Chain A
C-alpha cells in the first residue's frame, strides 16, 4: 500500500508537468488550449523520430525539440489564438479543437496506428530503481520526472515573481489594457507566455514517451489529465498544480486497486468530486477556477 502511494505521488509529478502549461496559458490568455495534449504527443513523436532515425538520445533530443516547441508556441499565439480570441471566448475553443484534430491525424498519417515508446532509447533508466526503506522500490525515471516537475514549477514561479518579463506576463494576465498603459507590450507578453507553455508541454511529452507508450490519438487523454490536475489543484499557487497532479494520480491508483479498469475512472471521479465541492462551497461559480492557478504566483 505504502508502495502504491509513493508511486502515485511520483506519477503526480508527471501530471503536474502536463498541467502547468495548460493552466499557465489559461491564466495569462484566458484560453483553454484543446490541442494541449496533441502537442505533447507531437513532441514525443519528434523525439521518437530523432532517436529511431538519427540515434539521438531523447535527452539530447530535447535540445532540438524544446526550442522547436517554443517556436510552435510563438506561432500558435501569433497566427491562431490572437486572432480567434478577438472573436470572443468561444471561438478559441473551436480553433484549438480543429488544430487538435489536424495534429492527431497528421501524426497518424505519418506514423501509423502503432503505439511507440521512448523507453528503448534511454537504456536501463527505464527500468532501474532504487530501494527505499520499507522495501519500497522507486523507479529512477519516476524520481527524475518528479524532480523535473518540482524544478520546473519552482523555476516558473521564480521567473514570474522576480523578473521584469515575469511581472509583465502577470500584469497582462490580470489586466491587458492597463498593462499596455504602463508600458507592457501585452502582445509580446502573451506570445512569450505561449512559448513557455509549449516548452513545458514538450518536456511533458518527452517524459510521457519515456515512462509509457503513446500513439497518434493519445493527445485527448493527456489533455483530460492536464485539465483535471489543473482544476483539482485550482486556487493557490503553481504548487497547487503539483498537489492537483498528486491527487489525480492517487485517485487513479486507488481506482485501480478497487477494479481492474478503475484507474481512469478513479481519476475522473476524483475530478468531479473536487469540482462539486468547489462549486458548492465557494458559491462563486467556477469563473477563473483555473485562472487562480498560475496568475497568483506569489
Chain B
C-alpha cells in the first residue's frame, strides 16, 4: 500500500525558481545593452505586469471583478504630483503616494465589498468617475488641462530613465513576491477556498471578507504604484488619461487572455499585451476593437485563458502556490467514488 504524497513544488517548479532569479538579474543589467527607447518600453512592460497581477489578485483570487480600478491608477499619479509639489523628492513621492492610495482603499473597501458581482463592478466605476471629477477640482491640476511632475526635471534624462526602470523592476518583483507569498502562505489557502466556493469557504470558517479586503487593498496599492510609475515615465498628468476606464480594459484583457486565477497567467497576459501593443498599437482604433473582441472571445470560448487551459491539460505548474496531493493509485476504493478521482493528482488548498 503506497502512501499519499504531498509536495509543494515539482522538479519543473524548482528549475523555474532558479529561472526567475536569473531573469530578474538579467533584467536588472539589461539597460546597459538597450537603447533609450527600448528601456522605456520595457519599463512599460513592468507596469503592465503589475497591473495584470493586481487585477488578477482582485478578480482571479478574490472573486471581485472591478471595472473601476483606474481610480487607484489615477490617484497614484495624483498624490505623487501633490507630494512632489509639496517639496518631497519626486522618486520618494511615487511610493508614499502608493501607500496613501492603499490607505484610502481601506475605507472604500468597507463600503464596496458589501456589493456583489456586477453591482461591485459598476459601483467601482462610479467611484472612479467621482474621484476623477473631484481631482479635476484641484486648482493645481487645472481641470482637464492637467499638470506635470516638474521636479523630476532636475535629473538628467538618462539618470531619470534608468532610475525609473529600476524602480519599476523592483516594484514589479516586490509586488509579485508579496502576492506569491500571500498565495503560498496560510492566507493562500483561504484565497483558493474563496475562489472555488465562497459560501462553502465561509461555512468552514474562512474569513471571507477579511481576505477579500486584504486583496482589495493590495491591488489598490499595487495599481497606485503602477500609476505613479506611469506618471514618472510620462511626466505629464492629465486626469482624463489616468482615470480612463481603458486602464481597466487593459487589465481585463491581460488577465482574461493569460488566465484568470493563475499566478503565471497574469504575467503571460501582460507579456502578450505588450507584444500586441508593440505590433498593433499604431493601428489606433482597430487595435482597441481587437482588444475588446479578443477579451469577449476569451470570456466565451476560453474563460480559463491560455495559461489556465495549458495548466489544466498538461498539469503545468511553474510557480507552485498550492499543494499537490498525489493519491495512491491502487488504494482500495470502498466509497464508491469514481476512480478518476484517484488517478489524477489534484491541487488542494
Is chain B found bound to chain A in the same assembly? yes
Contacting B296 at CB < 8 Å: which of A89, A98, A261? A98
Q: Does B286 contact A (CB under 8 A)?
A: yes
Query: Do B289 and A271 touch across chains, with their CB atoms under 8 A apart?
Result: no
Contact string, A73-98, partner B, CB cutoff 8 A, digits 1/0?
00000001001100101111111011
Contacting B126 at CB < 8 Å: which of A34, A100, A271? A271
Q: Quick one: closest A residue to B286, CB to CB?
A: A109
Contacts of B294 in A (CB 8 A): 98
Contacts of B340 in A (CB 8 A): none
Q: Does B146 contact A (CB under 8 A)?
A: no
Contacts of B125 in A (CB 8 A): 220, 223-224
Query: Do B296 and A99 touch across chains, with their CB atoms under 8 A apart?
Result: yes
Measured CA separation A99–B117 after assembly (Å): 18
Q: Does B155 contact A (CB under 8 A)?
A: no
Nearest CB of A to B233, in Å: 24
Among residues 60 to 97 in chain B, which have CB atoms less than 8 Å away from a CB atom of chain A? 63, 65, 67
Please count how many residues in chain A sit with their CB below 8 Å of the partner chain's CB atoms: 49
Measured CA separation A147–B63 after assembly (Å): 42
Measured CA separation A290–B300 after assembly (Å): 25
A228 touching B126 in the complex, CB below 8 Å, given contacts A90-B59, A94-B299: yes
A interface: dominant SS: helix
Q: Does A134 contact B (CB under 8 A)?
A: no
Contact residues on B (Cβ < 8 Å of other chain), bracket? 35 or more
Top 8 closest A-B pairs, CB basis?
Answer: A32-B118, A101-B292, A98-B296, A98-B295, A102-B292, A268-B130, A95-B299, A105-B288
Residues of B in contact with A (beta carbons under 8 Å apart):
59, 63, 65, 67, 111, 114-119, 121-123, 125-127, 129-130, 133-134, 136-137, 143, 245, 249, 252, 256, 285-286, 288-289, 291-297, 299-300, 303
A-B contact pairs, 29 of them (CB 8 A): A26-B118, A34-B118, A83-B300, A84-B299, A89-B117, A89-B118, A90-B59, A90-B63, A90-B117, A92-B118, A93-B121, A94-B252, A94-B256, A98-B292, A98-B295, A100-B292, A101-B289, A101-B291, A101-B292, A102-B296, A108-B285, A220-B245, A223-B122, A223-B125, A224-B122, A224-B126, A231-B119, A271-B126, A275-B111
